[in-house]
Structure 1
């Protein structure tokens, strides 16, 4: 029995949520993957997975074993990567998770050139505004618009992008334009529901020297996607706080108007996040370096 192969199959079954998905990924069959997991259970003398017609779930013992398998496989991958980096170009599947808008506007346009530059890398780009567990879901690298909160992860800073408070001319025809942050309390504000402090917007005076201002805001609509919030603002639903790169074009076209130019919101940090390890896989390092290089060529992102 190939125990390491069986462990890898087990891990991918858990991470993908099904035997068939793991089989497709490994160019195998569902029956073969099922036999590997069954052989592993037989070797251990313990049931790892509870199977039903609709879903799989880890047993208590299986959950502990899964975490150990992930750690062991990571160590093996690290050892192999160290050897390969000394004599070969980066290769393998690179799983990248990113917010939807960032992925569409920043990553997708530069991905073609990256794949040409590194022909032995295959990119699995996963776009979602939901929080991704890198280890559990087998993700090599995630782009997050927030400060690092997990000490088991490493963050490489990409850029800081200030948020701009905007509204459409149509909205401002119906309501008095706010001049001070506290006036936002009386307005319909469209909030991004994925932030930790959803209904709190933070400001400081543009010229500096003033106190930081935190304003509780609210309205009749909240959303977990920046592109949708942008569209709602363009449609005159309310006031939104969005990154510069999302709204600059619409401001220049007169479709949106910046509110309170004398006040700046706190910059939104964009970081590349990856699991902490003694050795960072070459494919991960190459992608981060390439992404930073491309962003540096676009000064509007800083």
Structure 2
């Protein structure tokens, strides 16, 4: 069974699950590809993929595993040197490290916690752009600037104090984590078994809110 998963999520949160799945299904073989590129499941021969996104309407069938929130954060040292923005409009005066595969690109979106449902969209001008979420986080840990990263990735650094959430009064986008496959006709018993396993595994998983 060929499986495609995002790199960092695959390493941190899926790799520890594979042994248990294999133990439960000893006749199943796995070919796991880690890539943040949006692969074509049919053309590239994947049975199932895990995707982190605001899922668009498509021919793919999906089951949600969990959610994750994009969190704006920086190191305490960066904030000591440059101050903390209090409103999205102030991001223009800060060094920004951008994840180049973010669907919204350089157009970051925030929602006020004061009740307004209208999004506040800000176009950022990154000092550094990379297709690696780990590189974004590493740069933030070295005091390079602000990053907008998923809670599953920066959560441990927020817990340790190495990174601090910025503008907590403005929440960014919530993304779904989905298992997707090409069509119901291709939901073989092994694919169903894997998806059911992942749904159960993430049912009790809690990311930073």
Whether TM-score is above 0.5 comes out as yes
Equivalent residue pairs, number: 209
Q: Which moved more, 1:242-251 or 1:120-129?
A: 242-251
**TM-score, normalised by the number of residues in structure 1:** 0.66
Deviations 1:13-56 (A, max 9, x none): xxxxxxxxxxxxxxxxxxxxxxxxxxxxxxxxxxxxxxxxxxxx
Match in the other structure for 1:111:
18
Task: Show the counterpart of 2:96.
Answer: 189
Aligned pairs for 1:242-253 (under 5 A) are: 242-253=149-160
TM-score by length of 2: 0.94
Match among 37, 42, 57 for residue 130 of structure 1: 37
| Alignment root-mean-square deviation, CA | 1.6
Given that 2:55 and 2:176 are in contact with CA atoms closer than 8 Å, whether structure 1 keeps it comes out as: no
Verify the 8 A CA contact 1:159 1:301 in the aligned structure 2: no
Structural mapping, 1:71-86, within 5 Å? none
CA distance in 1, matches of 2:147, 2:177: 19
Matched residue, 1:236: 143
Higher relative contact order (CA 8 A, sep 6+): 2
- Which residue in the other structure is 2:84 paired with? 177
Q: Does the 8 Å CA contact 1:192/1:226 hold for their aligned counterparts?
A: yes
Structure with the larger strand share: 2
* Partner SS for 2:53: coil
Please say if residues 157 and 163 of structure 2, whose CA atoms lie closer than 8 Å, have aligned partners that are also in contact.
yes
- 1:263 is aligned to 170
Deviation at 1:210, TM superposition (A): 4.5
Partner of 1:204: 111
Deviations 1:76-110 (A, max 9, x none): xxxxxxxxxxxxxxxxxx11101101101111001
Question: Map of 1:135-146 to 2, 5 A cutoff?
Answer: 135-146=42-53
Local SS of the residue matching 2:184 = coil
Matches of 1:190 and 1:292 in 2, distance apart?
32
Structure 1 unaligned regions, length at least 5: 1-93
Contact kept in structure 1, 2:68 and 2:207, CA below 8 Å: no
Q: Deviations over 1:192-228 (max 9, x none)?
A: 1112321011111124234211111122211111111
Q: How much has 1:147 moved relative to structure 2?
A: 3.1
Select the residue among 54, 57, 82 that pairs with 1:147: 54
How far apart in 1 are the matches of 2:56 and 2:69?
20
Note if contact 2:65-2:203 (Cα within 8 Å) is conserved in structure 1: no
Higher helix content, 1 or 2: 1
Residue equivalent to 1:160 = 67
- Asked whether the 8 Å contact 2:155–2:208 carries over to 1, the reply is no
Q: Partners in 2 of 1:228 and 1:99 — Cα distance?
A: 14
How far is 1:249 from its partner? Answer: 1.6
